[in-house]
Amino acid sequence: MYHKQLVKDLTKIFGIKKIVFSSVEYGAEQDVIYCDVISERNRPTNGHYYFVVRGTIGFNAQYGNTKKGWFHYKWLASPYEQKSRLQLGNNEVNVNFAEMNKYFCKSRIDFVYRIKIEFNPSHKTEGWIQKIVNFIRG
């Protein structure tokens, strides 16, 4: 339920068009944000769902094009109003992958994403039930 909004927020904050739900360790595509969701909690309350999503986001780029702290820099520089939904961890980690370290850099950082989504299934079903009852009555 939160996936579409998470993709929209990551795209607007970091300015990268493609988001892949996978770990950066297994990805080889460049200029893609890899989003690996580790855990999620949801709580329905009064017509809303509250989601707390924890995971890691990563980026694969050529060595030298990105520096350590890229995620924090892009987050701080983003004018997007809803960027407070995404909280980044303190430590950005570079993923080692043997012979390619001198050509590419893969960095990842932990994140927590909080969002409230409007949801009211009873309201939607009441409308359909009323239409069916009215149709039967004629």
Nearest to 107 by CA among 89, 92, 88, 97: 92
Q: Domain 3-137, what fold?
A: STM4215-like (3.30.2000)
Residue-wise pLDDT tens digits, 119-136 = 765 555 556 667 787 788
Q: Are 7 and 33 in contact (CB under 8 A)?
A: no
Confidence bin at 51 (pLDDT 50/70/90): very high
Count CB-CB contacts under 10 A for residue 46. 6
pTM: 0.76
Residue 41 binned pLDDT confidence (cut-offs 50, 70, 90): very high
Cβ atoms within 10 Å of 35's Cβ, excluding its own: 22
Residue 117 has pLDDT above 70, yes or no: yes
